[in-house]
Amino acid sequence: MTSATLRQFKLPDVGEGLTEGEILQWLVAVGDTVTVNQPLCEVETAKAAVELPSPYAGTVVELLFEAGTMVDVGTPIITIDTGGGAAPAAPPPPAPEPAADAEPAAGLIGGSAPGGRTAVLVGYGPRNTEAHRRPRRSGDVVAERATAPMPRADHPPLLTTAPDAGTKPVRHGGLEVGRQAEAHALHGDAATATAAPARPAAHGRGRLRPLAKPPVRKYAKDLGVDLTTVTGSGAGGVITRADVDAAVTTTAPVPAAPVIGGEQRIPIKGVRKHTAAAMVASAFTAPHVTEFLTVDVTRMMKLRQRLVLRPELADVKVSPLLFVAKALLLAARRHPMVNSSWDEAAQEIVVKDYVNLGIAAATPRGLVVPNIKDAGRLSLTELAGALADLTATAREGRTAPADMSGGTITITNVGVFGVDTGTPILNPGESAILAFGAVREMPWVHKGKVVPRQVTQLALSFDHRIIDGELGSRFLADIGALLHDPGAALAF
């Protein structure tokens, strides 16, 4: 029998200098055979959720952390036997650091990198500190993710300064949780070393954790259903919402004590933690000024109706946001100073000759602002396609960290919520952000008569260190003029 050669994979920096990440779900289980670059787990950082590929080929010996655990960069998270031996019956003691001649191939995650560092997806190398877990509610139950009600995951962009309409649940990127993700073993439970992928994971004091997705767990908890008593009808025994409903109808109602009051505590982490820190830093670093403009966009809405019928735009969404984005890009070309940043260390203003257009988007994990690279060079059709791809990817929770860095100016579309306007906070490192309000039919003076017209409100916040009142006003007025009369774009 081939002797075991144990290798441990450390959590890499999957962002830009990030120091920790949460293991959302395991995609493999103890005893599984894995290949190089096969996804091992899904990890959420302060910016996005990403899958970590395996740097080794072999057999999974031990999962060092449960799903839901916060782990510091540089901490081993999984042990793999690369020697071809069978998985041991019980988890072995922690393996020593891999020998220098046993490093994974260069260029792979965990492999060597210039300067003696460990290769990672993106960033600056691991940090050797210990992991920490979120608090448990009891000794037998793994602390569940916060799952309070929220707007649906397919909601469009959210105003950066608007408070949540409800507490948002933490979901696994909108993805199906695979059987192997729920079949991982806890430390010391030797019985799970040969567990089938669809078997529930052991937890607590030898209990089996039922297979169910976080929304179903929350639904069952609200109804008072013990999932350990429910038989799952889904693939691999996964408990569905219908199974919970069936359990309710077959269980006699139990009188509940009245709830006089209560509270819910939600861990501040991941995207929400990053967004909060960024907004505080921006609000108290850059002196914000916000200007407002009400615009008659009747002509723009009529043009939209005509463009929808054009064959070249048949496969893309021609939305009002598309026209706002195009108008902003044209106005930025005329006023390049608005597309700049403040370099405090060098005491310089950095004016960009490209526009990475950020679009604020609400996701199950919180607000993210992915950006369209070099958006100013795109045609209207290309811009429409890029907006559609950006929005779909963000709603699925699959936006890559690189797509959320390097933005130069941002649009937040609050109109999709029926909101007229707001005072948005600048994305850190940017000098301007435009809030686009709802388009409403309102009485308007047109050609000397009060008639119903399509009207919207724009709000532009800008960094007064870079953009003075005149420049900000001219920039906003140009955007308004282009939306009022799209034909004016020929003069830009």
Known catalytic residues?
464
- Residue 236 has phi, psi (to 5 degrees) of 70, 15
Q: In angstroms, rounded to a whole number, what is the distance separating the alpha carbons of residues 177 and 174?
A: 9
DSSP-assigned beta bridge partners for residue 203: 207
Alpha carbons 72 and 376: distance in angstroms, whole number: 39
Phi and psi dihedrals of 469, rounded to 5?
-60, -40
Rounded alpha-carbon distances, angstroms, from residue 64 to 34, 81, 231: 16, 14, 29
Query: Is 74 within 8 Å of 68 (Cβ atoms)?
Result: no
Q: How many C-alpha atoms does 253 have within 13 Å on its Cβ side?
A: 3
Work out the burial of residue 459: count CB atoms within 10 Å of its CB; fewer than 13 is exposed, 13-18 middle, 19 or more buried: buried
Task: Count CB neighbours of 469 within 10 A.
Answer: 11
Give the whole-angstrom CA distance, residue 264 versus residue 131. 25
Instruction: Output the DSSP codes for 225-279.
Output: --GGG----SGGG-B-HHHHHHHHHTS------------------HHHHHHHHHH
Compute the half-sphere exposure of residue 185: CA atoms within 13 Å on the CB side of its CA. 23
Contact 216, 240 (CB under 8 A): yes
Question: What is the 3-state secondary structure of 181-202?
Answer: HHCCCCCCCHHHHHCCCCCCCE
Say if residues 61 and 88 touch (Cβ distance below 8 Å): yes
Residue 30 and residue 195 in contact, taking contact as beta carbons nearer than 8 Å: yes
Instruction: Indicate the residue type of 383.
Output: L
**CB within 8 Å of 215: residues ≥ 6 apart:** 147, 169, 171, 241
Contact (Cβ atoms closer than 8 angstroms) between residue 225 and residue 246: no
| Burial status of residue 231 (CB atoms within 10 A of its CB: 0-12, 13-18, 19 or more) | exposed
What are the CA-CA distances from residue 259 to residues 76, 256, 400, 407, 441 (Å)? 44, 9, 43, 47, 45
